[in-house]
Chain A
Amino acid sequence: MLKTVIDKETGKELRAQFHDQIAENEMLIEALRTEPMNNPYWDFDNEIFYDKYEDIS
Chain B
Amino acid sequence: MAEIIDINVSEVVENVQITTTENITTVNINKVTGSGSTWGEIEGTLSNQTDLQNALNLKANENELGAVAFSNNYNDLDNKPTIPNITNLVPYTGASQDVDLGNNNLNAKGLKVNGASGSGHLGLKHQSTNATAGGQETALFAGSDGELYYKNDGNTLAQIASRTWVSANFASKFFSHKLTTPTAYVTGTVSETEVYRLPLPPGSFNPVDVLKIPLMLVKKLGTNGTVIVRGKMSTSPTMPTGTTDLIFQTPVAVAGSQTLGIIKTFFIDNGNIKGTQFNGTSYTDNGAGAGAISEKPFDIAVTNYLYLSVINGSASDQTRLDAFQLINS
Interface residues on A, range: 10 to 19
Interface membership of A10, Cβ < 8 A: no
Best-surrounded residue of B184, B188, B190, B195 (most CB of chain A within 10 A): B190
A-facing mask of B176-198, CB < 8 A → 1, else 0? 00000001101111111111000
A-facing mask of B230-248, CB < 8 A → 1, else 0? 0000001111010000000
Interchain CB contact under 8 A, B189 and A34: yes
Interchain CB contact under 8 A, B193 and A2: yes
A33 to B313 Cα, complex, angstroms: 11
A11 to B81 Cα, complex, angstroms: 94
A16 to B195 Cα, complex, angstroms: 9
The residue that A16 contacts in the complex, of B191, B236, B238, B313, with Cβ under 8 A, is B191
CB under 8 Å from chain B, chain A span 1-25: 2, 4-5, 13-18, 21-23
CB under 8 Å from chain B, chain A span 26-45: 26, 32-36, 40
Residues of A within 8 A of B241 (CB): 14-15
Interchain CB contact under 8 A, A40 and B238: no
Given known A-B contacts A22-B238, A23-B238, A32-B315, A15 and B194 have beta carbons under 8 A apart: yes
Residues of A within 8 A of B187 (CB): 2
A25 to B237 Cα, complex, angstroms: 13
CB under 8 Å from chain A, chain B span 191-231: 191-195
Best-surrounded residue of A17, A32, A40 (most CB of chain B within 10 A): A17
Name B238's closest neighbour in chain A (CB-CB).
A23
The residue that A35 contacts in the complex, of B190, B192, B194, B239, with Cβ under 8 A, is B190
Interface residues on chain B, number (Cβ under 8 Å): 20
Given known A-B contacts A2-B193, A4-B191, A33-B191, A15 and B186 have beta carbons under 8 A apart: no
A35 to B191 Cα, complex, angstroms: 9
The residue that A21 contacts in the complex, of B186, B188, B237, B309, with Cβ under 8 A, is B237
A21 to B184 Cα, complex, angstroms: 17
Given known A-B contacts A2-B189, A23-B238, A16 and B315 have beta carbons under 8 A apart: no
Residues of B within 8 A of A34 (CB): 188-190, 315
Residues of B within 8 A of A22 (CB): 238
Interchain CB contact under 8 A, B186 and A16: yes
A15 to B241 Cα, complex, angstroms: 7
Residues of B within 8 A of A17 (CB): 193-194, 239
A22 to B241 Cα, complex, angstroms: 13
Interchain CB contact under 8 A, A40 and B191: yes
Interchain CB contact under 8 A, A32 and B191: yes
A25 to B199 Cα, complex, angstroms: 21
The residue that B189 contacts in the complex, of A4, A14, A21, with Cβ under 8 A, is A4
Given known A-B contacts A2-B186, A40-B191, A15 and B315 have beta carbons under 8 A apart: no
Interchain CB contact under 8 A, B189 and A15: no
The residue that B193 contacts in the complex, of A16, A36, A40, with Cβ under 8 A, is A16
Interchain CB contact under 8 A, B193 and A15: yes
Interchain CB contact under 8 A, A36 and B313: yes
Q: A17 to chain B: closest CB distance in Å? A: 4
A2-B186, A34-B190 provided; 12 other pairs, C-beta below 8 A?
Answer: A2-B188, A4-B191, A5-B238, A14-B241, A15-B191, A16-B186, A16-B193, A18-B183, A22-B238, A33-B190, A33-B315, A34-B188
